[in-house]
Chains A and B, each alone.
Chain A
Amino acid sequence: MMNEKQVHEMVIEANNTPEVLERILRVIRHRGFRISTINSVQMNDCNNIKITVTVSSERPIDLLYKQLDKLFDVSKLSYQQSTAI
């Protein structure tokens, strides 16, 4: 399951609830990923936010992708594979 450490940039669109950042950050931490950069902006309709986050881990990114995708508040999710560090 463990590989060499990889860096990935994820883009997450989610409902703009007060706790949505906590939800997402908790999943990233608990599933074994470290955040190196994060940016969160409210989208034009105010009902959604867009989070761009760079994460790293030895674990496959697909495990985190599926866990975040399962969150009720997350509406759209994508990631770009980056290089090993």
Chain B
Amino acid sequence: MKATEFIVNALRKQGVTQVFGYPGGAIMPLYDALYDGGVSHLLARHEQGAVMAALGYARAGERVGVCIATSGPGATNIVTGLAEAMADSIPLVAFTGQVPSALIGVDTFQEVDILGMTLSCTKHSFLVEDQNDLDRIIAEAFTIATTGRPGPVLIDIPKDIQLAEMAVETVSELPVLPALDGLVEAQVTAARALLHAAKKPILYVGGGVGMADAVPELRELAAALEIPIVSTLKGIGSPDPEHPYYLGMLGMHGLKAANLAVQESDLLIAVGARFDDRVTGKLDEFAPHAKIIHLDIDACEHNKLRVANVAISTDLKLILPALKMTLDIAPWRLHTLEMKVETAFRYDHPGIAIYAPLLLKQLSASLPEDHFVACDVGQHQMWTAQHMTFTQPENLLSSAGFGTMGFGLPAAVGAALARPDAMPVVVTGDGSIMMNIQELATINRAKLPVKIVLIDNQRLGMVRQWQTLFFDGRLSQTILDDNPDFVALAAACGIPGEAIVVKEQVQPAIDRMLASSGAYFLHVQISEQENVWPLVPPGVNNGEMLEQ
């Protein structure tokens, strides 16, 4: 048995049914084994599209993404995806072809030291030196990718190793993983004491909740405590949006009530969140009166940016139920509720031009219960986080920590394969979509019914907004009034669509899009003047938001 056949068998043993990739010279033996290996392969039109699709597949389907690329440029094209997986803690196993072992280090055609290049954006990596190590390496790769804080693992395989014969042809049984550490009673007692004593406690929920599969435990805790909750971008969907004291996203473009409540709080319970700079604003003025309980599987996050009074690194499914109690915080509840009502977004936007927040609110209300929305990066991403409602974290796929423009379209491709019964939606911008526009062809090839909503302001809108506010209006390289005809571009890739420009066209167009059986492209023209509000400017605390 050749090593590549063994690799495909090992993938099947790991439960992998779908991989994403792009063939090339140094990975041809593995593609030969995939030809009839019993694992589905989705061909992207660029290796970055393949790795982003694998990430969308992993995040939407809560499993490991697998992507495959050739050596050299194929490998370098997945680097952004590895960094994305590192920043957002997405389980990914990436296979790259490498030039033959004897030709490594002599500047061979399509040779790059991808292991060296990706040390900073992988959780771990392997260069396979002996085909008989593959059994161990693949098992370790999947274990590393999925355990603790998930992340990307790279397996670089020289072509001669791929072609070599295996001494042992049977894939080993999957390792039995040791259980996570249990609760430490003293830590639980300390956390409960802080919670019991708090007058203004708040739950600050991050992406770790969804990854720990702890959404039910979080919601039960929140209901028992009747406590105000704020969410990070990746935490959206974990708290029940119907929870009366759910205040929405916090941070740079957070909701006003969320930011103000955190600034006033006397106890912040960070649940699978990491005090990211887009969340905290000016760090030393973030939640200045709050003690901290920090719950995170990755102990590296404890005391990294904010010293915790109690730091616990264990399974959230264990610790969250242990914090249930009755809190005596009626005045705080009332206060946050009043702030939530008083600062709620308004949608009575004047004029006939389409108002993106209102459109997204309408889109959200029109979607079937089983759906996901993949976003790109920029103004539309923040509007989506602010104005759409998500009931599960895997329903919003947004490049959060790494902020990768071009994520949305390929992520939706992968997510659509992971969740074939869900309505797949992309919300993107005219800057971002061009970063991986070639994946329109993949959507057509795979006949995926992806509904693409392009919010077009003919600008790199978020940068334009900052130039307007903080760079004296000098619009350096952000004007895109020569964009292509996007509807025609989609049509060229076999995707029907339409363009809308005024408010009254919005709901009928959404209805037509959602009623269409296949992919659909909705081009939405908005004013280039629109900004995302609120905005916490750089260098100030989250209480000092700029508003419309």
Contacts and interface: CB of A to CB of B under 8 A. Distances in A.
- Most chain-A Cβ atoms within 10 A of its Cβ — which of B115, B300, B303? B300
A56 B115 CA distance: 28
Interface stretch (B43-51, B116-124, B481-489, B538-546): B116-124
A63 B304 contact: yes
Contacts of B124: 71-73
B417 to A, nearest CB: 29
Given A66-B299, A70-B300, A72-B124, A22 B144 contact: no
Contact of A1 (B140, B144, B305): B305
A72 B144 contact: yes
Interface string A1-35: 10000000000000000110011001000100000
Given A66-B299, A70-B300, A19 B119 contact: yes
Contacts of B303: 60, 62-63
Given A1-B305, A72-B124, A72-B144, A67 B119 contact: no
Contacts of A23: 119
A60 B302 CA distance: 12
Contacts of A60: 303
Nearest to B300: A66
A19 B144 contact: no
Interface in A58-85: 60, 62-63, 66-67, 70-73
A19 B117 CA distance: 12
B146 to A, nearest CB: 13
Interface string B102-127: 00000000000001100110011101
Q: Is the interface of B mostly helix, strand, loop or mixed?
A: mixed
A22 B299 contact: no
B127 to A, nearest CB: 8
A20 B305 CA distance: 28
A1 B308 CA distance: 12
A70 B148 CA distance: 10
Contacts of B148: 70
A75 B305 CA distance: 26
A6 B392 CA distance: 45
Nearest to A71: B124
Given A63-B300, A67-B300, A30 B120 contact: yes
Interface residues of A, number: 16
Interface string B77-96: 00000000000000000000
A72 to B, nearest CB: 4
Given A66-B299, A72-B124, A26 B119 contact: yes
A60 B303 CA distance: 10
Interface residues of B, number: 18
B137 to A, nearest CB: 11
B305 to A, nearest CB: 7
Given A63-B300, A63-B304, A19 B120 contact: no
Interface in B445-501: none
Nearest to A18: B127
B116 A19 contact: yes
A8 to B, nearest CB: 17
Contacts of A66: 299-300, 302
A18 B113 CA distance: 13
Interface in B143-173: 144, 148
Interface string B519-531: 0000000000000
Contacts of A62: 303
A80 B260 CA distance: 43
B305 A22 contact: no
B261 to A, nearest CB: 25
Interface string B265-305: 00000000000000000000000000000000011101111
A26 B115 CA distance: 13
Nearest to A23: B119
Contacts of A22: 116, 119
A68 B123 CA distance: 12
Nearest to A22: B119
A11 B377 CA distance: 42
A9 to B, nearest CB: 21
A62 B304 CA distance: 9
A25 to B, nearest CB: 10
Nearest to B143: A72
B366 to A, nearest CB: 44
A74 B300 CA distance: 15
A23 to B, nearest CB: 6
Contacts of B144: 72
A66 B311 CA distance: 14
Contacts of B119: 19, 22-23, 26
Contacts of B127: 18-19
Contacts of A71: 124
Contacts of A72: 123-124, 140, 144
20 contacts: A1-B305, A18-B127, A19-B116, A19-B119, A19-B125, A19-B127, A22-B116, A22-B119, A26-B119, A30-B120, A60-B303, A62-B303, A63-B303, A63-B304, A70-B298, A70-B300, A71-B124, A72-B123, A72-B144, A73-B124
Given A18-B127, A19-B125, A70-B148, 14 more contacts: A1-B305, A19-B119, A19-B127, A30-B120, A60-B303, A62-B303, A63-B300, A63-B303, A66-B300, A67-B300, A70-B298, A71-B124, A72-B124, A73-B124
Q: Which 4 A-B pairs have the closest CB atoms?
A: A72-B124, A66-B300, A26-B119, A66-B299
